[in-house]
Amino acid sequence: MPALRPSAKPPAADGQFAIAIHGGVGNLPDRLSPVEKRQMQDALAGALAVGLALLADGAAALDAVEQTVRVLEDEPAFNAGRGAVFNSQGRHELDAAVMDGGSLRGGAVAGVRSVKNPISLARLVLSETPHVLLAGEGVEQFAEEMAAHPQIQRVSNEYFSTEKRYQEWLRHIERVQAGAEPETYRGTVGCVVRDGQGNLAAGTSTGGMTHKRWGRVGDTPILGAGTYADNATCAVSCTGTGEHFICANAAFRISALMAYQSLTLEDATRQVLSNVLPKGAGGLVAVDRSGQTFMHTSTNSMSCARADSGGFSEVRL
């Protein structure tokens, strides 16, 4: 059987690590109050600190990704976990995925309605089942089976609601009814990591798009579209209009450009965001096998942050 990917040297266990995270596109800094800006900056810095501490202690890339995304899911400033947007039925359906760059295996969930941290449920799909993606009633049944796991906490659907998201939903409906262009929130959270053993991992979590049709699934839980990791090239977590990222196979395309055209992470990312995806489709964070990170968006803004073992750190809105 032919190889599924080009051969690559084993990852370099050099002790050097790097992490990049995002809180999604769609929050223009000039529309945020000073309090909201500070909340978002503090949340990004806090999540980054969690991931850095784990990596400094020798944690595996996948563990650091999961725990970092959990912090972002718990922060109402972002559209994932608590603070997720409302769908067309006035409820919340959440998606998440993780992928391990060493094994090329992943776990994903779609349409989650009752799990506080969907990223951990996605991790359990990877570790506890032979499958990749569970959705709808099947994912809720799986959550029930995993309820005794320490990382799984069941909550009511109302747990994810916040007054800010509710008002956004009402404004969206009003604009649609008035025939005006709606302001659709498209936020997502994500994390990519290169650990000290040279392994890569990616994780992404989202509430989707404001007023999305119930049952709609975006790019987040589709490996290769919104989430991807391969030790031979890079790890990627995307945010934006999921339909565009799915059709472009965006996250994997960046990896393929690096593998088959020898593009750098930055050049591959810019090519996909500028030449493949429609203008304004979204953004992403990524890290390559050497630990170089890159954060870029074709929208007006993306909240993101990154750091590495060399002491470099930054937070951007």
The sign of the torsion formed by the CA atoms of 193, 304, 299, 182 equals positive
Per this entry, what is the length of the chain? 317
The pLDDT value recorded for residue 31 is 72
Query: Which has the closest alpha carbon to 218: 181, 187, 191, 254?
Result: 187
The pLDDT value recorded for residue 9 is 67
Q: Is 1 part of any domain?
A: no
Number of domains in the chain: 1
**If phi over 0 gives left and psi between -120 and 50 gives alpha, with beta otherwise, what is residue 187?**
beta
Which active-site residues does the annotation give?
188
CA 302 vs CA 124, 242, 295: distances in Å: 29, 15, 9
Q: Which domain holds residue 134?
A: 18-316
The pLDDT value recorded for residue 180 is 86
The pLDDT value recorded for residue 181 is 81
Q: Is 3 part of any domain?
A: no
The pLDDT value recorded for residue 184 is 65
Q: Is 5 part of any domain?
A: no
From the first residue on, what is the mean pLDDT of each consecutive set of 10 residues in the chain (317 residues)? Answer: 52 91 78 85 96 98 98 96 96 98 97 98 98 97 96 98 94 90 80 98 96 95 98 97 96 98 98 95 97 94 95 94
Can you give the CATH number for the domain in which 217 is found? 3.60.20.30
The pLDDT value recorded for residue 1 is 32
Query: Which has the closest alpha carbon to 200: 102, 64, 107?
Result: 102
